[in-house]
Amino acid sequence: MSKSIMKLNNIYRSFKKGRTVIPVLKDINMDLKEQEYICFVGESGCGKTTLGKIITGLLKPSSGELIYQGKDVAKLKGSSYTDYRRGVQIIHQDPYASLNPTHTIFDILSFPLYRHKVVKGRKAAREKVSELLTSVGLTPVAAVIDKYPHQLSGGQRQRVGIARALTTNPKVIVADESVSMVDVSIRISILHMMMKMREELGSTMIFITHDLALAKYFAWKGRIAVMYLGRIVEIGTTPEITQNPQHPYTKSLLSALPEPDPDVTRRKEKIQLRSEDIPRLTELPPGCPFHPRCPWFVEELCDGEIPVLADVPDSDSNAKVACTPLTTGKGLNLYASTTS
Amino acid sequence: MSDVVLSVQDVSIVYHADRGDVKASNHISFDLHKGEAIALIGESGSGKTTVSLSFVDMLPKVAEITSGKVLFTNRDGKTSNIFEYSHEQMRDLRWKECAMVFQGSQSSFNPVLRIREQFLDTARAHGWNNKEEVIAKAIELLKFVRLDPERTLESYPHELSGGMKQRTLIALGVLLSPPVVIFDEPTTALDIITQRAIIDVLKEMQKELGFSIIFISHDLALAAELSTRVATMYAGAIVELGPVEDIFYRALHPYTLGLLRSVPRLSQANEELSSIKGNPPDLINPPSGCKFHPRCEFASEKCATKEPPLVEYEDNHQAACWHTEKVIEARKGLWD
């Protein structure tokens, strides 16, 4: 088993809106390994972007600890904090908004190089930037390096975004919906680029997306964590999650997804939820947050205690699941009867 | 009698921009039959929205229709060219004969009117003044899209969630039972489970109400699920047109094949995907010959000089490519 690079201990994060406190992330516990692929998937409002920002240090957790290479990030100071900031980089979603329109590509890529003292002097910076542009496939370099973002296409801009994340040789890269705004025909080439980067740099690749099919392709050798209303409800290897889901929410998501195959998508078995409405984060139902919608809801069991991530006994999946009937075996007869 | 509701013939549209003329739509022809759902698929800038906007006269001012006609057959069986309609005739056509449901339902409602008023308004504009009848119909349709009619009618747009708004808009779109409904990316920006609910509603509605659908999407999965026929669009033109199974399982155009190869399928375990090389073309100075040739793996010299016409290869399956035999060879293995 590879070494841990980052640990999330009981991460909780809330936002204040007027007098109301909105809890966006709750009880996030995870161990991120060196060089692994991991995807956070879920619908809007599940907290996946907030989690990505906490990992990169763009937001601080309200409580809980973020441990990077064995040290609590909140307590890092001076050069060790710079090490963390250098080691963890993000690729944003929108390549039109994430690049400063008044700076050239060279400016955009050289700032972090100077800031983190990767290179000294303009000549060395030019060389390093050329190298970066080549590695993300923006060639010939001379045709790109002195341009402004608006002179590039969306796909090219996203490559610049990737190159910027690579300027500091990061150990962890967070890609937040990084291909959702790129045309379908070139999306895969950007994903391939990110996969190649991971191979070359040996960094941990965190991909945040709502697209399960894309997550499956990207992290086939890694893990997927499915999030719902601020919590991880199922986490396991990508083949387990996508081919043999356990949690009712994961099952519902997978069954709801149309597929680019007329026969498969029309024949697909669809799970009917009890309700289509997603509860508000400020008025979460008691117990399992999914229970008002869950077709396998067991009264008094699911609306009592909040389920915690645990193994499912007697299952062919090693995924951890937050579902009381599945993990405790209680009420499972009821559960099974509604399944069949 | 023919069952063609909308016959699009040789439609070309340009946008007059500062840099030059953007050839957004080039000689587009297709027939929409009664009860069918045709999906226009393609990337941003392929012209799928542009051509659809011309059917309801909602193109921006900088656009000019340079050729073609759109023959519309109304419910009385009378056929006329939409492009020749007066302003009044066009007003009458919209909603009543041909409704367009836009993406981003947020901006489709008047934010200061209750939903009830918006239903009444739409009906009134078309001379339907019996409020009770309109509301009765609205309630029926809102039930159909699985909303609580009373609550929805009394709400302001901001009080509804994205999915509820989209459903309300679909109900409003079919209020006057138009024979043709155009859906522009109806489920983009919606969550997976909400998207599923909308898909199911659309399928059911179409079955029950029997209207014809033109459905614009960049999402192949949605086209696979909802359409009976698919038109692949590239650089403002239809490059392949055929029954949905033919397009997915027996693609004849390299661009369609390229798209199919670039979308992951959940049901497949480990799969090989590839992107189409290069970028979508500049429509001010489009490439010579076949507009796809700079990105095409099968391109020959002929492709760079001569534009291939859209020809019928099998029953109702047309493609515009000089090298379909190479595509047939290359598509083997895609569905194993």
Helix (H, G, I), strand (E, B) or coil at B35: coil
Task: Say whether residue B186 is in contact with chain A using an 8 A CB cutoff.
Answer: no
Q: Do B146 and A276 touch (CB under 8 A)?
A: yes
Question: What pLDDT, on the 0 to 100 scale, is given for residue A93?
Answer: 86
Given A196, A228, A260, the domain boundary residue is A228
Given A228, A261, A279, the domain boundary residue is A228
Angle subtended at Cα B290 by Cα B287 and Cα B295, rounded to the nearest 5 degrees: 70
**B52-72, pLDDT tens digit by residue?**
999 999 999 999 999 999 999
Question: What pLDDT, on the 0 to 100 scale, is given for residue A334?
Answer: 62
**A90-106, pLDDT tens digit by residue?**
999 888 889 999 999 99
| A147 inside domain | no
| A261 inside domain | yes
Q: Are residues A201 and A263 in the same domain?
A: no
Task: Say whether residue B77 is in contact with chain A using an 8 A CB cutoff.
Answer: no
Question: What pLDDT, on the 0 to 100 scale, is given for residue A248?
Answer: 95
| A260 closest CA partner among B192, B194, B218 | B218
Q: Do B266 and A212 touch (CB under 8 A)?
A: yes
| A270 inside domain | yes
Surface of B (34-73) touching A: CB under 8 A: 43-44
Q: Are residues A83 and A200 in the same domain?
A: yes
Range of the domain at A197: 4-101+163-228
Question: What pLDDT, on the 0 to 100 scale, is given for residue B106?
Answer: 67
Residue B192 CA to residue A43 CA, distance in Å, equals 7
**A146-190, pLDDT tens digit by residue?**
999 999 988 899 999 999 999 999 999 999 988 887 888 888 988
CB A207 within 8 A of CB A197: no
| A126 inside domain | no
Q: Are residues A55 and A96 in the same domain?
A: yes
Nearest beta carbon to residue B193 from set A43, A186, A216: A43
**B207-243, pLDDT tens digit by residue?**
888 899 999 998 999 999 999 999 999 999 999 999 9
CB A146 within 8 A of CB A105: yes
| A48 closest CA partner among A166, A180, A175 | A175
**Strands A172-176 and A88-91, sheet pairing:** parallel
The mean predicted confidence, pLDDT, of chain B is 92
| A32 inside domain | yes
Chain B residue with Cα closest to A188: B275
| A141 inside domain | no
Q: Are residues A83 and A167 in the same domain?
A: yes
Q: Are residues A222 and A278 in the same domain?
A: no
Question: What pLDDT, on the 0 to 100 scale, is given for residue A16?
Answer: 92
Q: Are residues A53 and A80 in the same domain?
A: yes
- More reliable by pLDDT, B92 or B2: B92
Q: Are residues A60 and A206 in the same domain?
A: yes
Given A228, A263, A284, the domain boundary residue is A228
Q: Do B264 and A217 touch (CB under 8 A)?
A: yes
**B135-165, pLDDT tens digit by residue?**
999 999 998 888 899 999 999 998 888 888 8
- What's the structural domain count of chain A? 2
Surface of B (241-280) touching A: CB under 8 A: 244-245, 248-249, 258-260, 262-267, 269-271, 273-277, 279-280
Which one of B266, B273, B296 makes the best mutation probe of the A interface by having the most chain A beta carbons within 10 Å? Answer: B266
Task: Say whether residue B163 is in contact with chain A using an 8 A CB cutoff.
Answer: yes
Q: Are residues A167 and A290 in the same domain?
A: no
- More reliable by pLDDT, A330 or B309: B309
CB A208 within 8 A of CB A175: yes
| A111 inside domain | no
Return the structure tokens found at B335: 């569905």
Which residues have CB under 8 Å from A148's CB, separation 6+?
Answer: A101, A102, A103, A104, A105
User: How large a percentage of chain A has pLDDT more than 70?
Assistant: 97
Average of per-residue pLDDT across A266-282: 87
Question: What pLDDT, on the 0 to 100 scale, is given for residue A1?
Answer: 57
**CATH number where A204 lies:** 3.40.50.300
Q: Are residues A329 and A215 in the same domain?
A: no
Q: Give the position of tokens 């894309």.
A: A214
| A217 inside domain | yes
**A197-250, pLDDT tens digit by residue?**
888 889 999 999 999 999 999 999 999 999 999 999 999 999 999 999 999 999
Domains and CATH numbers, chain B: 4-227 (3.40.50.300), 234-331 (no CATH)
Q: Are residues A202 and A172 in the same domain?
A: yes
Which residues have CB under 8 Å from A322's CB, separation 6+?
Answer: A231, A232, A233, A234, A247, A288, A307, A308, A309, A310
Question: What pLDDT, on the 0 to 100 scale, is given for residue A340?
Answer: 39
Which residues have CB under 8 Å from B264's CB, separation 6+?
Answer: A213, A214, A216, A217, B271, B273
Q: How many CB pairs under 8 A join A and B?
A: 120
Helix (H, G, I), strand (E, B) or coil at B33: strand
Question: What pLDDT, on the 0 to 100 scale, is given for residue B121?
Answer: 93
Q: Are residues A264 and A331 in the same domain?
A: yes
Element holding A274 (H helix, E strand): none
Q: Do B265 and A266 touch (CB under 8 A)?
A: no
Which one of B275, B282, B334 makes the best mutation probe of the A interface by having the most chain A beta carbons within 10 Å? Answer: B275
| B43 closest CA partner among B216, B273, B264, B188 | B216
Task: Say whether residue B190 is in contact with chain A using an 8 A CB cutoff.
Answer: no
Q: Are residues A209 and A275 in the same domain?
A: no
**Strands A204-209 and A172-176, sheet pairing:** parallel
Tell me the chain B residues in contact with residue A243 when contact means C-beta distances shorter than 8 Å.
269
ipTM above 0.90, yes or no: no
